[in-house]
Structure 1
Amino acid sequence: MVDVGNKTVTRRHAVAESFVHFPPAAAAALHAEGLRSRKGPVLDTALIAGTQAVKRCADLIPFCHPLPIERIRFEFQFLTPEQLHITCEVAAEARTGVEMEALTGASVAALTVYDMCKALDLGLSIGPTRVVEKSGGKRDFKSDQAASAS
């Protein structure tokens, strides 16, 4: 792991996003069932899985530092009936950033949606997944791209 012992503890914040794309018939079936699949409530389950993933990021990504996560927030929004936009916001007071935690949360939430809905159609797809903003540490970053995926 990278030595972060001499870095200053600052407020670290990151937001990552991921998209889940549904074939039209699968999207129609999911919406007709109130965003529930045979496995249960899709977005509630994705929220729980994404939260667990953020908290376990250092266990999943070998060189990530364990961090004292202070905030996790998810948003799920259908941009169209076939396109789900997931954002994961993470914050901590730490010596290193929380981008990997936000990316892991968004990714696992998207994977969970796939798992919950794969019985509708295996043609669901995930992506892109990316960091859209971060602050704290040496430099801040904010993507100039709006939330949309082709």
Structure 2
Amino acid sequence: MSKLTHLDEAGHAHMVDVSGKSDTDRMATATAIVQLTQAAMDVLLEGNLKKGDALAVARIAGIMAAKKTSELIPLCHPLPITKVTVDLEPDRATHRVLITATVKTRGQTGVEMEALTAASTAALTVYDMMKAVDKGITIASIQLEEKQGGKSGTWRRSAL
């Protein structure tokens, strides 16, 4: 097992020094799944929410969250994000919304946390927009799917 980078020699949490790293193009994609009831999915797809378009609001929330990650996760570096996309794909057959967030930068450290924060926040926003219809909505499987760039190169989640 490799050494945890956010702990110093004494075991104290600290921000990693990335000043010696080279700038490289970096990208990360994360997903989240929001499980709805059939009734909630119908309302979502019909656009009959009093609060407005849940998918549009969740997309903007995810983008905003990616940009604020270093303010939310204590040891994350603030990054010059160059691109954020948040896609929400409702599936009427499974009553699920698949959220895919992709973040890009050119810098000294990766954007995995930004992608995970974007996907998580978009999922929480769907819940917030839909909770009047169904408080039993479930958010599941928030996970990194892929990262590119940096010393460790490319990593992709294996299919089970």
Q: TM-score, normalised by structure 2?
A: 0.86
* Aligned residue number for residue 50 of structure 1: 62
In the alignment, structure 1 residue 135 sits paired with structure 2 residue 148:
yes
Q: Shift of the alpha carbon at 1:50?
A: 0.6
User: What are the equivalent positions in structure 2 for 1:21-60 lying under 5 Å apart?
Assistant: 21-31=35-45, 33-34=46-47, 36-60=48-72
1:117 to 117, 127, 130: 130
Q: Shift of the alpha carbon at 1:143?
A: 1.1
Q: After the TM superposition, which of the residue ranges 97-106 and 17-26 deviates more from structure 2?
A: 17-26
Distance in 1 (alpha carbons) for counterparts of 2:123 and 2:88: 10
Q: Are 2:32 and 2:141, in contact at CA under 8 Å, matched by a contact in 1?
A: yes
* Aligned residue number for residue 3 of structure 1: 17
**Higher strand residue share:** 1
- SS at structure 1 position matched to 2:32: strand
Q: Shift of the alpha carbon at 1:79?
A: 3.3
- CA distances 1:115-147 after superposition (whole Å, capped 9, x unpaired): 00000110100011000000001222111238x
| Structure having the higher Rg | 2
* Aligned residue number for residue 6 of structure 2: none
Return structure 1 stretches of 4+ with deviation > 6 angstroms: none
- SS at structure 2 position matched to 1:77: strand
Paired residue type of 2:122: A
Paired residue type of 1:96: T
Larger relative contact order (Cα-Cα within 8 Å, sequence gap ≥ 6):
1
Q: Are 2:84 and 2:103, in contact at CA under 8 Å, matched by a contact in 1?
A: yes
Count residues with an aligned counterpart. 144
In the alignment, structure 1 segments of 5+ residues that lack a partner are none
Q: TM-score, normalised by structure 1?
A: 0.91
Distance in 2 (alpha carbons) for counterparts of 1:29 and 1:53: 26
* Aligned residue number for residue 16 of structure 1: 30
* Aligned residue number for residue 76 of structure 1: 88
Alpha-carbon RMSD across the aligned residues, in angstroms, is 1.3
- SS at structure 2 position matched to 1:123: coil
Q: Shift of the alpha carbon at 1:13?
A: 0.3
- CA distances 1:27-49 after superposition (whole Å, capped 9, x unpaired): 12322x23x41111111100111
Q: Shift of the alpha carbon at 1:80?
A: 3.7
